Amino acid sequence: MKLKLDETILRCRREKGLTQEELASALGVSPQSISNWEHGGYPDIELLPSIANYFGITVDELIGNDRISVEADIASFPQKYYAVNGEERLTVALDYHRKYPNDFSIMHCLAAVIAHGGFAGSPVYGKLLRDVCERILRECTDAEIRSDAVFYMCETAEGEEFERWCSMLPVSFGQTYYETKERRLWKIGDRAQARRLYGRSNAEILLYFVARDYHADGDAERAEVNSFYRMKLLSCRKDGGVPDGFLGLYAFCRLCHASALFGCGRTEEGFAELEGAVDDYLRSYDLPDDVPLPLGPDELFGGLRCIRHRKKGMLDTFVYEDGTSADYPPGGSHHLDPNALYDMLTHGPFSSGWFDSWFDAVQEDERFAAQLARVRTYMENYR
């Protein structure tokens, strides 16, 4: 049975043991307003998030939506969030944060889009980012969300505030949460869980190195070496091949290598690598969703597998060989949309600092036009 707003406010006030006057003072309204709400009146819609936040419930619960509907709505958030970009993604995150002001996974995404979407320079959104991240550190117990909150503030804060947030970061890889937890598991003799955590930490460290930002800065020789050895690291099957779970990221590194070869004047090698990169990209797009994809030897990665959810508009997740979820997905698999591949070849929104315009030197070559045509044709039929 759905509750009415007046019944919900009355129940929550009594559960907290508050008088109407005390609740009015806490919310910054008059006692007459509280009395009116508890007798069928309705507060201004702008007040609903504040009221819900004070009681520690969602706006849906406050106005009487049933719990099943609320859970279904929250479960649909990631698909809506990752299906759009830029201001649309920010709008989705803001709308859900207003509806569910106590959901830390939504706060996590809201902080991410403000920090990474270029919105932190706005006084309004900069303050919202700070408020959300500080609340996460005060109240959230999820290690990943807490760590990311600190990271987002380090990316956007200035001066003394930057130094304050940076002081919360771990001083080295060896002191991170997961490596510390792994050492603890070995110490208490839980060998199976220790091996699993060892594997996922190896995957995270590898992905961090290979996928981390790199700016070529006009130096094609350095970019060629850098991209070549990143490709080598991902060729970690026992036969020297690239595991399907890493194929998208490998294709990205190969595209970077092709660009650098053009920048070095090694045009024939560049075209051979470009064709191979497009081959790998298109093959990676055809990999199935919801199927565990291997990352490499289980002895190295603890049986970790990557699962794509691209057709649902969601990021990849990671599971162990027996199907149990990894406690924290390591990211960086780079299963990009074909539109992003086209952008990287043509200076579009998804282009990368890796390339440094070296594709410009071959824009008029018919071989380059042929690869663009392959990508365009694939884009027309994708999904």
Model's pTM, two decimal places? 0.66
Long-range contacts of 159-163 (CB under 8 A, 24+ apart): none
What phi and psi, each to the nearest 5 degrees, are found at residue 279? -55, -50
Structural tokens at position 50: 């504040």
Are 285 and 335 contacting, i.e. CB atoms less than 8 angstroms apart? yes
Last residue of a domain, one of 119, 151, 169: 169
Residue type for 12, please? C
Q: Is residue 279 part of a domain?
A: yes
User: Are 235 and 276 in the same domain?
Assistant: yes
DSSP-derived letter for residue 325 is: B
User: Are 233 and 131 in the same domain?
Assistant: no
Q: Is residue 243 part of a domain?
A: yes
Last residue of a domain, one of 145, 169, 193: 169
Q: Is residue 16 part of a domain?
A: yes
Where helices occur in 157-293 by DSSP H, the ranges are: 159-166, 177-188, 191-211, 220-234, 247-263, 267-285
Long-range contacts of 85-91 (CB under 8 A, 24+ apart): 86/117, 87/117, 89/113, 89/117, 90/114, 90/117, 90/119, 90/125
Tens digits of residue pLDDT in 311-325: 776 778 888 888 888
pLDDT at residue 113 is higher than 80: yes
Rg (CA), the chain: 25
pLDDT at residue 360 is higher than 50: yes
Q: Is residue 182 part of a domain?
A: no
Check which CATH number belongs to the domain holding 52 and give it.
1.10.260.40
Are 248 and 336 contacting, i.e. CB atoms less than 8 angstroms apart? yes
User: Are 305 and 372 in the same domain?
Assistant: yes
Q: Is residue 191 part of a domain?
A: no
Confidence grade of residue 1 (pLDDT, cut at 50, 70, 90): very low
User: Are 106 and 146 in the same domain?
Assistant: yes
Q: Quick one: which of 337, 220, 206 has its CA closest to 281?
A: 337
Q: Is residue 323 part of a domain?
A: yes
Of these ranges, 74-83, 120-129, 154-163, 197-206, the one predicted with the greatest mean pLDDT is: 120-129
Last residue of a domain, one of 169, 195, 220: 169
User: Are 50 and 73 in the same domain?
Assistant: no
Q: Is residue 341 part of a domain?
A: yes
User: Are 354 and 245 in the same domain?
Assistant: yes
Q: Is residue 372 part of a domain?
A: yes
Query: What distance in Å separates the CA atoms of residue 268 and residue 118, rounded to the nearest whole number?
Result: 39
User: Are 53 and 117 in the same domain?
Assistant: no
Range of the structural domain that residue 49 is part of: 5-63
Q: Is the torsion defined by CA of 279, 285, 288, 291 positive or negative?
A: positive
Of these ranges, 75-79, 151-155, 160-164, 274-278, the one predicted with the greatest mean pLDDT is: 274-278
User: Are 108 and 40 in the same domain?
Assistant: no
Query: What distance in Å separates the CA atoms of residue 78 and residue 331, rounded to the nearest whole number?
Result: 16
Q: Name the domain count of the chain.
A: 3
Query: What distance in Å separates the CA atoms of residue 338 and residue 275, rounded to the nearest whole number?
Result: 15
Tens digits of residue pLDDT in 166-221: 888 876 666 677 787 888 889 899 998 899 889 988 988 888 888 887 777 889 99
User: Are 37 and 53 in the same domain?
Assistant: yes
Query: What distance in Å separates the CA atoms of residue 147 and residue 170, rounded to the nearest whole number?
Result: 9
Structural tokens at position 328: 């924290």
User: Are 282 and 262 in the same domain?
Assistant: yes
**E strand map for the chain:** 293-294, 305-309, 314-319
User: Are 252 and 275 in the same domain?
Assistant: yes
User: Are 107 and 255 in the same domain?
Assistant: no
